[in-house]
Amino acid sequence: MASEERRTKYLSGAIILLTFACFVKTLQFSHIDEPHHHVIKRRAVFSTVTPPQTGIEMSMTIDKPFDTSLTNPDDNNYKDYVKKIQDAVQETYHSLDNHNNASVNITGFRPGSTIADGTVTVTNIYLDFFSVITNLSNILLSKGIPVAPNGFAISEQKTLISTSGKFYPQQKLELKCPRSVYGNITWKVNEKDPDSTKYTISSDTLTLNSAAYSDNGRYSCITQTSFIPYIQWQNIVIEQQPRITVGEDKRVFPCDGRTVQLTCYVNAGYSVEWVLNGIVQASEIGSDFITVNHTIKKESCGEVIYTCRLKGLQQLLDYSYSARNVLVNTSTEDFTCQDNALGIGKTNDRTKGLCESGKEGSITYKCISKVWEIEQDDCVLKVIKDLESRVQGLLVTAIPEFMENLTNAVNQNNANVTQSAATIKIIVEILSNIADLSKNITHNKPVMESFLNTVDIIVSDNSSKTWSDLNNKNTTGNTSVKLLQAIENISDRLSDVFAINLSSIQLNRNTFKNSFNQTSQLPNSTTQIVIPDFSNPIFITVIFFSKLNDVLPTRNSSNNDNRTSENRVNGDVVVVKVNETIKNITFAFDITNTSLGNPQCVFWNFYLDRWDSTGCKVKITGNEGSKVTCECNHTTSFSILMSPFAITDIVKSTALAYITYIGVAISMASLVLCLIIEIIVWKSVTQNDTAYMRHVSIVNIAVSLLIANICFIIGAAIADQDIKQGLMISVARCSPVVFFMHFFYLALFFWMLISALLLLYRTVMVLSQMSRTKMMIIAFTVGYGAPLLIAVITVASTAGAENYVSKENACWLNWTESKALLAFVIPALAIVAFNIVVVVVALFKLLRRGVGATTQPDDRHVFVIIVRCVAILTPIFGLTWGFGIGTMVSPDFGIHVVFAILNSFQGFFVLVFGVILDNKVCDALLKRLSLNNLSSTPTKSTTAGTSSTQQGVPQRT
């Protein structure tokens, strides 16, 4: 205990006395990556030599993007970082003490906990620690390396795990934090909080219940010293999981005394052995395989079980991956096909066998014409399969080397790769994983060049048939779509300015001012991209693909099956990434196959999993229509409020948009006018309780519809912006808009319900009297309380899975995944149905003169107006949303037009039938306007005195 206290005092004293001389063995960098604002920590470590004291490792957090170029000491970016840090340390000490010198030698970087080994040497160890840190931070900031607040910590490599030797998958690992510094302990795994579903934390111990290769990395326990955190860390390496393959695990052979072969494969780094009844069998060992011969004895035909298990790793034999069994059975029945490795079978039977040497996986055989014929080859090159295993636990710093290895492997096995659907599928999975790993970092040219080199080979002409087979076997989740997604994702993570030119791919990344115009330099391609008129300098990344048209699927919005689609991708495929919003973009394509007609301008909609022409129009130009120009824009109409279908025809979509926006303008102007009139005549027309409640309902209907329309316009603007950039509708930006739109559209219907309830109350309970206060409480509880409850429940039940907002065409309630749209449709149509019943009851009473006989004329007038208003507005609203139901089940353009027209003019209908057709309102309005005119006319005044009335007789005073 005393020794621990002395060590704690030593560390605390060292921090104060050694100041920056004790500075660094770790330099940690983290960044906010524009424009995505992802944070990654980068650390560089260097030690201190300050006789007689030893160095103390420290970390420094800096808000700067980590780039994979920092893994290469020969890269200019790496050298620039090293020089800036060295200069900053020297300048810091020189500014505090003219006689003090310091030197730093950094040898490496890595994200999250990037380590750079080196030495800092200083001559004065008595400088104020906080002055050193403050000055160093300011100097680094001036050099373009901003240090984060509270970014310093002591960092020291320790042994945290008691287990020695190699660590294998599914093993339980326990890490213990050394108690060299007291205080609360927190744990980090690769600079992130441990996943509570995988890790258990108890006091100073972190337990990994079942290790996997992806759990590789840096494990840190963090405690608090008197001033700054103290980090103790260890790099943990989990071995790749063994992959044992034996082919079909149940095989039948004829009972005729023959000798059959059982073969077992295991991936590199492991050895296996065949075992029968616990006894190791003599086996023939090849480069990738181990084979055992089994002789079937005629006199004792039966079944035996052979086991292929890991050799020399007894501690792993309890894990599921450690062994594979093969049941060998015999039969005297007739058979059609036979093989000493595959066994026997009848016509159309299937079995699985192993791949040839150098490949991994299985081959499916089918018994046809007395022969086992290959039906499906799922063999993957061993070198590619090993890379697939490595990528699961790949650290970001290893991406450049990994991508170089992948490109070399694909180049060296070009013929095998392009002819193997299984191998291409695995390569695309690898590229997709690399793109996912790159979400929080940036890449320079070498990584992207390796990435595109790999793509260039797997989409070459040699692979056309392979891609055709891949696409035709899948109608969703295509390998080709995943490839395109990976290309788009990684192209968004590039740094620097560079160009790449390959046989079928051209990339150009640069900064442009005012406008952008670029033409493809690929053979037989003149594809051109134009982005006019942008104000600020922007980074633009453009990638041209001349072979991707033969790779991508051809299904569109009306046909999701590639095998029956008559469409063809008839031109280059272009990926464009811009780091800010642009309003217009034009693509000019050469038509590859002039025999095809009816060209369309489309983009791949990842969320609909098909080609989509929404917001794009086509122009045919060039000699004899040899060129197509695409101008892409997006328009939003009211039809999105109910319809899950996108109107993809640009002319029809634009027409709907014009109808919507013209109608919305008229509707909003009508609602504003309605509210102004209500304000002017309010006192004159709300003399009794019934009239008062009627006008309260009209005002709230107008307010709800007005706010809902404003929200609709905001949502349309958000959707337009995202879709123009080819992005998914932003859930974060759309969710508040959708919530308020949902709430106020529902409030519109519930206030219509209040009008109907008021009508029902005046119809059925003629002699009953309810106080105005009580009616107002009921009205606002129903009018706004019920919609709020429905809207909140909808958010709560769908937001967790991000299925609250539609991700496809507009900012509105989701239909495809969660059917959240029903939370609007069902209440709205239920209210419409109820209101129609109320109107029928009221009209029946009115025609029988059951209402109004004992009421005042004003009450009778109000009753008639309520009947008229509800009787007219309810069918209009009902008809509107009835056509809305039609748009949910049919993409027919006519239904969409009717729905858009009716929906657009709802505000106008409220003004006409709720206000203008009320004679009392018109009379009050005219009277008020007349009085205003009279009061504004100049008149002569007299001073005859003040008149008073006493007992009905005027008196002069």
The pLDDT score that the predictor gives to residue 430 is 95
Q: What is the structure's pLDDT at 374?
A: 93
Query: Which amino acid does the sequence have at 225?
Result: T
pLDDT, average across residues 812-830: 80
- Shortest CA distance to 410 belongs to which of 455, 365, 446? 455
- 211 compared with 953, residue with greater pLDDT: 211
- At 563, the pLDDT band (50, 70, 90 cuts) reads very low
Amino acid in the structure at residue 151: G
Distance CA 450, CA 184 (A): 45
Q: Is the peptide bond before 146 cis (omega within 30 degrees of 0)?
A: no
CA 50 to CA 18: how far, in whole Å? 8
Residues near 920 by Cβ (< 8 Å), separated by ≥ 6? Answer: 684, 685, 691, 861, 865
In this prediction, residue 950 carries a pLDDT of 32
Q: Residue 589's pLDDT is what?
A: 74
- Please report, rounded to a whole number, the percentage of residues in the chain having pLDDT higher than 70: 70
**Rounded mean pLDDT, 700-713:** 87
Q: For 13-50, what is each residue's pLDDT tens digit?
A: 333 333 333 343 333 333 333 333 333 344 444 433 33
* Cβ neighbours of residue 764 closer than 8 Å, sequence gap 6 or more: 841
What would the pLDDT profile of 525-534 be if each residue is shown by its tens digit?
A: 878 888 777 7
Contact 719, 635 (CB under 8 A): no
For the record, the structure tokens of 500 come out as 């790449």
Greatest C-alpha distance within the chain: 143
Report how far residue 102's alpha carbon sits from residue 50's, in angstroms, rounded to the nearest whole number.
Answer: 10
Structure token digits, residue 377: 């080859």
Taking the C-alpha atoms of residue 393 and residue 347, their distance in angstroms, rounded to an integer, is 44
Segment 807-817 shows an average pLDDT of 69
Q: Is the pLDDT of residue 70 over 50?
A: yes
Whole-angstrom Cα distance, residue 157 to residue 26?
Answer: 10
Q: What pLDDT does 285 receive?
A: 85
State residue 649's pLDDT score.
43
Q: What is the DSSP letter of 101?
A: -
Point out the least confidently predicted range of 33-47, 468-482, 602-616.
33-47
What pLDDT is recorded for position 693?
A: 83
Whether residue 28 contacts residue 43, with contact meaning beta carbons closer than 8 Å, is answered with yes
Which pLDDT score, from 0 to 100, does residue 639 have?
Answer: 31
Is pLDDT above 90 for 631? no
Q: Give the mean model confidence (pLDDT) for residues 885-906.
A: 63
Q: Tens digit of pLDDT for each residue in 248-283? A: 999 999 988 889 999 999 987 789 999 999 899 988
Under DSSP, is residue 34 helix (H, G, I), strand (E, B) or coil?
coil
Reference 337, options 350, 328, 324; nearest CA is 350
Range of lowest pLDDT (39-43, 381-385, 478-482, 641-645): 641-645
Q: Which of 139-153, 374-388, 639-653 has the lowest mean pLDDT?
A: 639-653
232-266 burial, b at 16+ Cβ within 10 Å, e below that, comes to bbeebebbbbbbbbbbbeebbbbbeeeebebbbbb
136-146 residue pLDDT tens: 888 888 888 88
Residues 404-427 have pLDDT tens digits of 999 999 999 999 999 999 999 999
Q: Which of 419-428, 578-587, 646-655 has the lowest average pLDDT?
A: 646-655
| Pick from 151, 155, 221, 235: nearest CA to 183 | 221
The token pair that represents 670 in the structure block: 């009508």
